[in-house]
Amino acid sequence: MPSLRSRALTAALMAAGRRRRLASAEAVRDQVARSARRPASHLPPRSLGRVADVSRTFVGAWPVYDAAPRGADPATRVLYIHGGSYIDELVRPHWSLVRTLVTEAQAHCVVPAYVLAPRGTADRTVPVATDLLSGLIASGGDGGTVLIGDSAGAGLALAAAQRLRDRTGAQPSRIVLISPWLDVSMTHPDQAALEPADPMLALPGLAEAGRLYAGTLALDDPLVSPLHGSFAGLAPITVFTGTRDVLTTDSRELLHRARADGVEVEFHEAPGLPHTYPLLPVPEGRAARDRIVSLVRAAADG
């Protein structure tokens, strides 16, 4: 049973019509056009600079932020890839998770503000994310490297891990996927039944956002939809999903396919919780963040 606070937040999201922005392909195209005219900021909040050393570099066209513990050597490294249906920038809940990782896990976080769709398509985006992951792993030093992504960012993270495995065989210490979007086709037969209870996501808009991200690639190309790629040889994976999330089908499919390929999977499915609940200010979100912190700390110990 979800907590009272979680139920209240879910009800508020439903009442606010949060998923209207994904209600149709036209709504997504309108949003993309507005963003092209007036791009949203991806800057971290000033409050992060009070507890972390924050800097920015560029990898090609990508601004890449570094946030490290202030006055202390980081215990481990994290590549965090944000969600937003591939069409939205970093927002405050993403930065709040980064703050938690820096302050509670003593992690050095690398946070790319990747180019959004339709300018940023999978064939361009996945190779850059792979290079970032490879460089972070190769930077060596004490501690491990944890790859974390939420929603669309989790799909990009998994695709990068698969590509790096194919390229060099290297892997991070662990992969953490929060409400991952792993198949952009939105054709799973169970999704239509899940959609009415989802307070945040809607199938038509997700399908259009996925189409924009795919560009010239097929929707089932593993670069676009890593659920269709091989899981063999990947690092251990931790997954968080909620049952009021139309994308929970992707998490369940990952569980079966990854274990069939011999990959260790730690699976958390929270009854009654919505999309990306580990980022939300609810007790279940706090518990999930505590688990993520413990996993990042464990990576530091090898």
Is residue 245 annotated as a catalytic residue, yes or no? Answer: yes
Pick the catalytic residue: 85, 134, 151, 173?
Answer: 151
Query: Could you confirm whether 151 is annotated as catalytic?
Result: yes
How far, in Å, CA of 124 to CA of 140, rounded?
26
Alpha-carbon distance 109 to 34, whole Å? 30
How are strands ordered across the β-sheet holding 265-274?
52-59, 62-69, 107-112, 76-81, 145-150, 174-178, 237-244, 265-274
Burial 22-40 (b: 16+ CB within 10 A, else e): bebbebbbebbeeeeeeee
Those residues whose C-beta lies under 8 Å from the C-beta of residue 295, and which sit 6 or more positions away, are 146, 174, 176, 238
Amino acid at 73: D
Please say if 96 is a catalytic residue.
no
Given the residues 108, 245, 250, 251, select the one marked as catalytic: 245
CB 52 within 8 A of CB 70: yes
Name the active-site residue from 42, 94, 188, 275.
275
Phi, psi of 147 (to 5 degrees): -100, 120
Report, as residue numbers or ranges, the catalytic residues: 151, 245, 275
